[in-house]
Amino acid sequence: MSSLVELPGYASAFEAWLATGPDAVAAAAEPTPSFETRVSLMSNLMATLFHEGWGRYGWPEAVGGLGGTILHRAAMWEALARYGVPGMALYEHLEVLAPTLVALGPPAFLAEAMPRYLAGKERWAQGFSEPGAGSDLASLRTRAVPVDGGYAISGRKIWTSWARYATWCLVLARTGTVESRHRGLTAFIVDLRSPGVEVHAITQANGTDELAEVSFDEVHVPADRIVGELDGGWAVGMHILSHERGTFAWFHHLFLHQHLAGSLGVGDPADDSRLGDAVLDLAATTATSYAALRAHESGRPLGPRAAFTKLLLCEAERSTFDWILANDGDLALGLDDPEIAVQRQGYLFSRIVTVYGGSQQMQLETIAKQVVKL
Amino acid sequence: MSTIAATDDLFLDSARQALQRASGSDDVLSSLGWWDLLESLDDPEARTALFALFRAQGRELVTTAALGALLAHPYVDTAPGAVTATIPRGSTLFVLGNPGDRLLVDRPDQGATLIDAGAVTLTPLAVPGEVALQRVTLAPDPVGPPPTDQATAEPDGHTRHPDRAVADLDLDGPADTDGAITGSTRPSSQHPDRAVADLDLDGPADTDRTTAGSTRPSSQHLDWVAADLAGPPTTAEPALGDTRHLNLDGSPTTAEPDGNTRRGGLDGPADTDRTTTGSTRPSSQHLDSVAADLGGPVDIGEGIAEAARRRSLFLGRVALAFDMLGAAEAALALATEHALAREQFGQPIARFQAVRHLLAWATTDCAAIEAVAQRAVALDEAAPAGFDEVVKALAGRNARRACERTLQVMGAIGFTAEHDHHRFHSRVLALDALLGSSAELTRRLGTRVRKQQTGLDLPARLLAAAEQ
């Protein structure tokens, strides 16, 4: 299996495996409007990929991986998208949180927890936003107070994606004063099964319940569950955001290609210019997110350039679904056909992509300040 | 603004400095070693440096002969800059910058022809944005030197050659003779049997976009000339073997008789004087002998031309994308400077989010062009089919958008003739119009994707190239 650490060998061997038509892939490729069902299909797919070894490449051996780089993961999901898997669902967090966990998290804990994540047995959520802290993340108020053997966390997080389905949550909490702003924050790994944790799902406008509000009432967290440094949570958050706004675009946009391709059959020739525009937006996302992958692979920090990728991904997602809506009117009407229901969920979600992961306006401010130097 | 990797910055900076020093002279290509880069297209670093010149051209508002030479390169193997490819638009031919000794005219499906630059009339056009565009008229001007502007119209309002006064080299053949040009002044209809191939890359649909005939006084109609030069459609291959390049002397080797390398970059016979006035222009020894041997147009069969055409368009479109990127970046720099200096309500307007976000979007527009164009340079021949169209379409669309956003930031001063902003904006508009506009290419891209029922396989191509 050693040749699989090299990307060409891995990519062609994985392609050959996909060509055999594995059941788990076929099942995950079925249009499935129920998010709960999606979670179980995707978890099953992850288990298969882990068992066969494909899902372990791109991750270090210390966390249950088999070596290789982020390009292995990029290639795996590229091929899965081509074979009809419509998205990563909540395993998107593997490409948002896990790179930071692996880089900055507690090794002993991750040696146990990451293999379960990679194998689809456990899932992770990200506890950043609060009712009073959205774009102004540094104003968050959830507190972590030192207690015997660790910390007690109290506070409320909201818009916590997939908390309902998650075992672990990476919580950004205040270990300094409120006035210390971003300097007094620490990133904790919190077991969502702990006493004092309550998770309330939030049903979304597109019908799924991927978001949640999570409250913490003196939840005990062992001392060895800190990611990064004590009071160094801001750096952890920025590390995560450089993936969420940078490399993540690669993974997410692969499925936009497939959404678009799936609707080409109903395309109106009179609308070819708009279709071309969507393809251009996708190409811009491919090119910028590929640069992000390579930057990550060679250890160069992406910095404010991640904001470009985030903005371009949002543009691509919007123009893709703009075209799909314009050419497939059924999307606005029906929920009975699973395929249309899934497209409709995607369309509605594309209207909100400019909000999550840092709003479009915040990305523009990042660029104005740090790139244009205004 | 720092949107590029350090090595690219290096190439770009040296190209910009060279262009500034040389004040637009073509010598800059020699001083930069650009001709050597053209011989090293297989090397990714060399390609990066080669294309950095075009980005620098956009930044510095300079046109060199580089594009025509780059476009000709896949067709012919000659001394540096000896052959300049013409650029068709609609059914009119153009060259950018001062051409070499020979012009390459390509006709899709019918091969290409090399003609002596002295056998054509070049009419400089007043294209804003320092785009040194010249219209190519295949007829030698019987009256005098080529007119330089619209002042060549006679005082009585007649054109110099009223009977030939149609701007376009209309090569569409009889099928198009009832096109947009009014019949009576359209000499092509007089010679339907000698009409040559369609030069219009976009097909007959564009023939009605031809420049309005008799109101363009400086142009001359050329159908008869073109027909004479090219003869009937060339179907036979020249007996030159199936090499990628057509060697003008027919030799498949790369060694010159005198032992010099064929395209010796800077050490070949100097192409010193690049004026456009035919016979006095010293040309390379090599081409002189060719001209002497062949004494006229040289046909390049469709078999060679077809592959060369694809490669040529790829290189040319990527080059134009970089030039437009440079111009948009320059417009952005002007608007940024303005936003930081201009005060309203007691503070620089750069403090207002509405203004900041316009500039951030313009920067994003540029970042997208840069990323896509850089991928094209890196992938080169491994790029997905039609990727050059994607690059050019995106560059035209985004550079135009960026200029619109920066114009809004500039306010009214940006719309004055004295301010430089319009020069960069105009350059983008002009270059967008060459080798397929963003509007045309975007529509065509949509049509192709819809018909093929599949998107661009760019992600897979990038990954496949990543390991090498």
Q: Catalytic one among A92, A130, A213, A244?
A: A244
Q: How many whole angstroms separate alpha carbon A9 and alpha carbon A6? A: 6
Note whether B353 contacts A312, CB cutoff 8 Å. no
> For residue B378, how many other CB atoms are within 10 A of its CB?
17
For residue B87, which of B19, B142, B133, B53 has the smallest C-alpha distance?
B133
Which of A7, A78, A264 faces B450 most closely, judged by CB atoms?
A264
Question: How close is the nearest chain B Cα to the Cα of A208, in Å?
Answer: 28
Dihedral class, residue A306 (left if φ above 0, else alpha if ψ from -120 to 50, else beta):
alpha
For chain B, the distance separating the N- and C-terminal CA atoms, rounded to the nearest angstrom, is 31
Residues whose CB is less than 8 angstroms from the CB of residue B465 and which lie 6 or more positions away in sequence, other chains included: B378, B379, B382
Q: What is the pLDDT of residue B356?
A: 98
Contact B466, B382 (CB under 8 A): no
Question: In which band, very low, low, confident or very high, does the pLDDT at B26 lie, cut at 50, 70 and 90?
Answer: low
Amino acid code (one letter) for B79: A
Place of tokens 């000698």: B194
Note whether B357 contacts A361, CB cutoff 8 Å. yes
Give the 3-state DSSP-derived string for B47-96, with helices as H, strands as E and coil as C. HHHHHHHHHHHHHHCCCCCHHHHHHHCCCEECCCCCEEECEEECCEEEEE
Q: How many whole angstroms separate alpha carbon B13 and alpha carbon B52? A: 9
Q: How many whole angstroms separate alpha carbon A71 and alpha carbon B466? A: 8
Quote helix, strand, coil % in chain B, to nearest 5: 50, 10, 40
In which element (H, E) is residue A172 found?
A: strand A168-174
Q: Identify the DSSP state of B141.
A: P
For residue A86, which of A250, A339, A255 has the smallest C-alpha distance?
A255
Predicted confidence (pLDDT) at residue B363 exceeds the cutoff of 70: yes
Per DSSP, the residues of B356-414 read HHHHHHHHHHHHHHHHHHHHHHHHGGGSPTTHHHHHHHHHHHHHHHHHHHHHHHHGGGG
Question: How close is the nearest chain B Cα to the Cα of A8, in Å?
Answer: 7
Calculate mean pLDDT across residues B404-429.
97
Strands B83-85 and B102-107: parallel
Strands B121-124 and B87-89: unpaired
Q: Minimum mean pLDDT among B130-144, B179-193, B369-383, B431-445: which range?
A: B179-193
Tell me whether residue A165 is exposed, middle or buried, using C-beta atoms within 10 angstroms of its C-beta: 0 to 12, 13 to 18, 19 or more. Answer: buried
Size of interface A-B (CB pairs under 8 A): 158
- Cα B379 to chain centroid distance, Å, stands at 21
Residues whose CB is less than 8 angstroms from the CB of residue B44 and which lie 6 or more positions away in sequence, other chains included: B377, B378, B380
- Cα B284 to chain centroid distance, Å, stands at 23
Q: What is the pLDDT of residue B224?
A: 29
Structure tokens at B252: 């498949």
Low-confidence ranges of chain A (pLDDT < 70): 1-2
Residue of B nearest to A6 (CA): B467
Question: In which band, very low, low, confident or very high, does the pLDDT at B138 lie, cut at 50, 70 and 90?
Answer: confident
Residue of B nearest to A266 (CA): B450
Residues of B in contact with A312 (CB under 8 A): 364, 367-368
Note whether A368 contacts B360, CB cutoff 8 Å. yes
Calculate mean pLDDT across residues B186-191.
34
Residues in chain A: 374
Q: Could you read off the pLDDT of B306-331 as tens digits, one per residue?
A: 999 999 999 999 999 999 999 999 99
For residue B194, which of B220, B231, B160, B168 has the smallest C-alpha distance?
B231
Quote helix, strand, coil % in chain A, to nearest 5: 60, 15, 25
Q: Could you read off the pLDDT of B47-62 as tens digits, one per residue?
A: 999 999 999 999 999 9
Strands B87-89 and B92-96: antiparallel
Q: What is the pLDDT of residue A2?
A: 52
Q: What is the pLDDT of residue A300?
A: 86
Place of tokens 């300040």: A369
Q: What is the pLDDT of residue B6?
A: 65
Residue of A nearest to B468 (CA): A8
Note whether B368 contacts A364, CB cutoff 8 Å. no
Predicted confidence (pLDDT) at residue B153 exceeds the cutoff of 90: no
More confident position, B290 or B377? B377
Strands B347-348 and B343-344: antiparallel
Residues of B in contact with A292 (CB under 8 A): none
In which element (H, E) is residue A73 found?
A: helix A70-82
Place of tokens 């099964």: A193
Q: What is the pLDDT of residue B217?
A: 31
Q: What is the pLDDT of residue B275?
A: 33
Structure tokens at B100: 């070499």
3-state secondary structure of B123: strand
Residues of B in contact with A8 (CB under 8 A): 464, 467
In which element (H, E) is residue A217 found?
A: strand A211-222
Q: How many whole angstroms separate alpha carbon A127 and alpha carbon A187? A: 9
Contact B388, B314 (CB under 8 A): yes
CA distances (Å), B32 to each of B50, B142, B435, in order? 10, 39, 26
Q: How many whole angstroms separate alpha carbon A287 and alpha carbon A201? A: 36
Q: What is the pLDDT of residue B29?
A: 92
Q: How many whole angstroms separate alpha carbon B32 and alpha carbon B10? A: 13
Amino acid code (one letter) for A49: L
Query: Mutate which of A308, A311, A359 to test chain B, going by most B C-beta atoms within 10 A?
Result: A308
Q: What is the pLDDT of residue A333?
A: 83
A244 annotated active-site:
yes
Residue-range domains of chain A with CATH: 8-118 (1.10.540), 124-231 (2.40.110.10), 234-371 (1.20.140.10)
Q: How many whole angstroms separate alpha carbon A283 and alpha carbon B462? A: 11
Contact B202, B171 (CB under 8 A): no
Contact B212, B179 (CB under 8 A): no
Place of tokens 């409320």: A156
Note whether A78 contacts B372, CB cutoff 8 Å. no
Q: Identify the DSSP state of A124.
A: E
Q: How many whole angstroms separate alpha carbon B119 and alpha carbon B277? A: 10
Calculate mean pLDDT across residues B268-296.
38
Q: What is the pLDDT of residue B5?
A: 57
Q: Could you read off the pLDDT of B89-119 as tens digits, one per residue?
A: 988 999 998 899 999 999 988 899 999 999 9
Residues of B in contact with A361 (CB under 8 A): 353, 357
Residue of A nearest to B368 (CA): A284
Q: How many whole angstroms separate alpha carbon A132 and alpha carbon A126? A: 17
Contact B117, B84 (CB under 8 A): yes
Which of the given ranges, B20-29, B129-138, B350-359, has the highest pLDDT on average? B350-359
CA distances (Å), A231 to each of A65, A175, A300, A316, B111, in order? 30, 6, 24, 37, 70
Q: How many CA atoms lie within 13 A of B267 on its CB side?
A: 7
Query: Bridge-partner residues for B414, per DSSP?
Result: none
Contact B83, B290 (CB under 8 A): no
Place of tokens 């060279």: B18
Query: Bridge-partner residues for B134, per DSSP?
Result: B95, B124
Predicted confidence (pLDDT) at residue B274 exceeds the cutoff of 60: no
CA distances (Å), B84 to each of A289, B71, B137, in order? 37, 7, 15
Residues whose CB is less than 8 angstroms from the CB of residue B186 and which lie 6 or more positions away in sequence, other chains included: B166, B170, B177, B213, B221
Q: What is the pLDDT of residue B56?
A: 97
Q: How many whole angstroms separate alpha carbon A287 and alpha carbon A293? A: 10
Which of B340, B361, B367 faces A364 most closely, judged by CB atoms?
B361
Q: How many whole angstroms separate alpha carbon A151 and alpha carbon A143? A: 9
Question: In which band, very low, low, confident or very high, does the pLDDT at B23 lie, cut at 50, 70 and 90?
Answer: low
Contact A249, A311 (CB under 8 A): no
- Cα B291 to chain centroid distance, Å, stands at 25
Q: Minimum mean pLDDT among A130-139, A185-194, B227-236, B403-412: which range?
A: B227-236
Q: What is the pLDDT of residue B90?
A: 86
More confident position, B139 or B83? B83
> For residue B444, how many other CB atoms are within 10 A of its CB?
19
Q: How many whole angstroms separate alpha carbon B397 and alpha carbon A233? A: 41
Which of A260, A283, A294 faces B372 most closely, judged by CB atoms?
A283
